[in-house]
């Protein structure tokens, strides 16, 4: 599997960005010169980083088409060679066949995810079916497959090193999973499915970004926004005094629901999020039902009962039954605790004079009151200690230094695609260069929702390349002159995404397709979730949790409150995650003969049959209509992976706790045995060798307060 996050981003399509080209750091169409396309030539910047001072929006189409043509020609030459198949002329040649295309797609996917515009969106719409056609031209090419199969069948006699053997096995498995054994007639049917699915995912993502932007809620009466701070109000102001606009996050719940005091305002904001792509001009229901039905047909064509069975082949879970087994073990405890939390919140509503039944738009607001009452912890008390850049440099980077010995240096000479992006060069303990890191932390209309990591440049010894990696988040941008203060959840997100980055930076592979984060979905989230543990580690926390005005270290009293409240609201958190994960699996375990007449009815029944609707005030983290992970990216039948890897990360942290905690020795061992291995070993074996046994679920239940 090629990099999970690169693939994810490549499939995401977003609507037009109204930012000026000056902000975009990409020159206008009129300046294009196709004779000197900077994407076609390799960048001369350090580490081969993309030179955004030269890249033009309109360069992408030409470079992508040329990259596809070059790859197609190489593939045909490999397949039609009259020489007997060898590792070098077949497998290695395949691995080296897309240098230009991979380089261009890495940059293209970064921009279409983090800073899109009309031109990029048009190119993406045109290219989506072409990418699908190219993949099919490779993996459904029987002549090429027979060469790969010949090598696979005699692999034990080829005397290959371990990584080369793994590469051969991966290619063979990829061909089989993609449909290489189908009849010629069925291959043509599969091609039509793949092409249509690529177009539909494109349409979904474009429509969803439009829905997010169109769904923003505008208020003209300041009193409706009672509860927001002056700084928050200032950041929401519309130019020329037209009111205040709250943009939608991609999740069901919206951050400001916690602070807004007026119930009517909360309901208005929640319903705008809930209905953004349902019954609006940006309705996605027809698109998602067609995607689900086509995927079911694809699964059947490939010989499986449903799409999930086909999709899970190379994961740790292996089959849908194991995913449902995980759910079954968690749902009763999660919903029971959510029910207890709901009772506490209802009591708080009545205690504060409310005469209504708890609804989803009330939960976060009154849960915060309960938290303050139980733990005397106010989010506004701790935010002044979490200034973004300090958290990054003295928290995230500092933890990486203590564990892995790496250091950093800010680079202001590396051009970026947006003025808000920060760039750092990272170094090994001995001073050797490790790679470049880009941090793109603030939300904007041109960026998709959520947070993610991917590469501009993939690590590979084959090409002597060190990684160039970026993290993208969606923190609210403060007004000019104000500090960027984070909630504790946002602090954890920064540690999480840098955990992905470390997985990429520590890659030490010969072959790019096995490098770094090129692992199964239900393993790729392990390094990132594990890295969250250091956010509250005493030595790390005291180094970065400094008051933005005074530099004062966060008081121990507040630290204790944060820790004590760690299991607060976990019933809600786990239930909303399980609801979304279950929806994903329900959509992708339908049979090929199923026709979904009503997407909303399907969603309602899916939650009811799995008893995830028993606490009515807990909605899924994502509704089907805006579930970008599964309908617009590479996480179809894979959203469960966040829960699967949560089990791994708590189990792994338990190992650290019993072996001395945060030490250089422990960090190096994790790096050597897991973080640097990419996809060169079976993932179960990799983890078990490091851990000394199979992972256990008890540490996760304890961390969630469910045990």
As annotated, the active-site residues are 497
Burial class (CB in 10 A: 0-12, 13-18, 19+), 335: buried
DSSP class of 487: -
User: Looking at the chain, how many residues does it have?
Assistant: 707
DSSP class of 160: -
Tokens matching residue 169: 């096995």
HEC profile of 77-88: HHHCCCCCCCHH
Alpha-carbon separation of residue 259 from 46, 153, 361, 594, 605 (angstroms): 45, 62, 11, 44, 33
- Select from 382, 428, 314 the least CA-distant residue to 563: 382
Number of Cβ within 10 Å of residue 354's Cβ equals 14
- Select from 208, 275, 273, 222 the least CA-distant residue to 247: 273
Distance CA 513, CA 518 (A): 7
Alpha-carbon separation of residue 570 from 367, 526, 658, 700 (angstroms): 11, 20, 25, 11
Distance CA 199, CA 58 (A): 21
Distance CA 297, CA 216 (A): 36
Q: How many helices (H) and strands (E) does the chain have?
A: 29, 7
Number of Cβ within 10 Å of residue 431's Cβ equals 7
Tokens matching residue 309: 């069975």
Distance CA 228, CA 230 (A): 7
Specify the 3-state DSSP secondary structure of 539. helix
HEC profile of 309-362: HHHCCCCCCCCHHHHHHHHHHHHHHHHHHHHHHHHHHHHHHHHCCCCCCCCHHH
Does residue 282 contact residue 563 with C-beta atoms inside 8 Å?
no
The continuous run of DSSP H or E covering 471 comes out as: strand 468-475
Tokens 């279409």 correspond to: 112
Sign of the CA dihedral 502, 388, 437, 202?
A: positive
The continuous run of DSSP H or E covering 424 comes out as: strand 422-427
Alpha-carbon separation of residue 56 from 106, 284, 413 (angstroms): 15, 32, 19
Does residue 341 contact residue 572 with C-beta atoms inside 8 Å?
yes
Does residue 12 contact residue 120 with C-beta atoms inside 8 Å?
no
**Half-sphere exposure of residue 59: CA atoms within 13 angstroms, side-chain side:** 27
Tokens matching residue 68: 């596809």
C-alpha triplet 365, 367, 373: angle, nearest 5°: 115
């Amino acid at each position: 599997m090629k990099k999970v996050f690169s693939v994810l981003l490549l499939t995401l399509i977003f609507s037009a960005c109204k930012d000026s080209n000056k902000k975009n750091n990409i020159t206008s169409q009129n300046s294009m010169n196709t004779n000197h396309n900077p994407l076609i030539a390799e960048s001369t910047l350090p580490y081969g980083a993309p030179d955004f001072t030269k890249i033009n929006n309109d360069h992408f189409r030409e470079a992508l088409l040329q990259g596809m043509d070059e790859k197609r020609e190489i593939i045909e030459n490999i397949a039609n060679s009259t020489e007997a198949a060898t590792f070098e002329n077949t497998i290695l040649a395949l691995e080296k066949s897309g240098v230009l295309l991979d380089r261009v797609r890495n940059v293209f996917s970064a921009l279409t995810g983090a800073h899109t515009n009309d031109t990029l969106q048009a190119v993406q719409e045109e290219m989506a079916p072409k990418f699908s056609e190219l993949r099919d031209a490779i993996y459904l090419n029987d002549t090429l497959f027979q060469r790969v199969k010949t090598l696979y069948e005699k692999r034990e006699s080829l005397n290959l090193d371990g990584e080369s053997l793994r590469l051969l096995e991966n290619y063979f498995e990829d061909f089989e999973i993609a449909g290489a054994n189908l009849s010629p007639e069925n291959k043509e049917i599969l091609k039509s499915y793949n092409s249509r699915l690529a177009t539909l995912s494109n349409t979904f993502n474009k429509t969803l970004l439009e829905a997010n932007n169109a769904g923003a809620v505008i208020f003209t009466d300041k009193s409706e926004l009672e509860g927001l701070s002056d700084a928050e109000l200032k950041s929401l102001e519309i130019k020329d005094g037209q009111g205040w606009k709250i943009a939608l996050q991609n999740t069901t719940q919206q951050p400001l629901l916690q602070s807004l005091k007026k119930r009517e305002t909360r309901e208005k904001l929640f319903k705008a999020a809930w209905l953004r792509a349902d019954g609006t001009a940006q309705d996605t229901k027809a698109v998602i039902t067609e995607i689900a039905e086509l995927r079911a047909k694809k699964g059947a064509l490939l010989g499986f009962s449903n799409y999930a069975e086909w999709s899970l082949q190379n994961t740790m879970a292996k089959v849908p039954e194991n995913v449902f087994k995980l759910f079954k073990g968690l749902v009763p405890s999660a919903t029971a605790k959510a029910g207890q939390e709901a009772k506490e919140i209802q009591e708080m509503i009545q205690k504060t004079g409310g005469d209504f039944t708890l609804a989803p738009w009330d939960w976060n607001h009154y849960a915060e009151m309960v938290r303050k009452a139980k733990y005397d912890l106010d989010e506004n008390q701790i935010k002044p200690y979490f200034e973004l850049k300090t958290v990054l440099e003295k928290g995230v980077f500092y933890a990486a230094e203590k564990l892995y010995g790496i250091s950093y240096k800010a680079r202001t000479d590396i051009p970026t695609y947006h003025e808000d992006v920060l760039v750092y060069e990272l170094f090994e303990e001995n001073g050797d260069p490790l790679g470049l890191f880009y941090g793109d932390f603030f939300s904007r209309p041109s960026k998709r929702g959520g947070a993610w990591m991917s590469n501009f440049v993939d690590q590979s010894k084959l090409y002597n390349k060190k990684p160039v990696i970026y993290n993208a988040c969606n923190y609210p941008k403060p007004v000019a002159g104000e500090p960027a203060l984070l909630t504790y959840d946002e602090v954890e997100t920064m540690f999480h995404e840098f955990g992905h980055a470390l997985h990429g930076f520590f890659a030490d592979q010969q072959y790019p397709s096995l490098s770094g984060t090129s692992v199964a979905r239900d393993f790729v989230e392990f390094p990132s979730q594990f890295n969250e543990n250091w956010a509250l580690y005493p030595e790390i926390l005291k180094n970065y949790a400094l008051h933005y005005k005074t530099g004062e270290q966060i008081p121990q009293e507040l630290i204790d409150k944060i820790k004590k409240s760690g299991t607060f609201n976990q019933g809600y958190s786990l239930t909303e995650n399980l609801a979304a994960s279950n929806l994903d699996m329900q959509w992708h375990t339908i049979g090929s003969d199923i026709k979904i007449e009503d997407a909303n009815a399907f969603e309602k029944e899916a939650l009811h049959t799995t008893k995830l609707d028993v606490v009515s005030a807990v909605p899924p983290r994502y509704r089907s209509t805006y579930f970008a992970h599964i309908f617009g990216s590479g996480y179809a039948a894979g959203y469960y992976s966040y829960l699967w890897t949560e089990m791994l990360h708590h189990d792994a942290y338990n190992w650290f706790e019993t072996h001395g905690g945060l030490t250089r020795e422990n960090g190096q061992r994790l790096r050597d045995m897991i973080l640097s291995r990419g996809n060169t070993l079976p993932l179960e074996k990799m983890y078990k060798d490091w851990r000394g046994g199979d992972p256990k679920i008890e540490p996760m239940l304890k961390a969630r307060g469910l045990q």
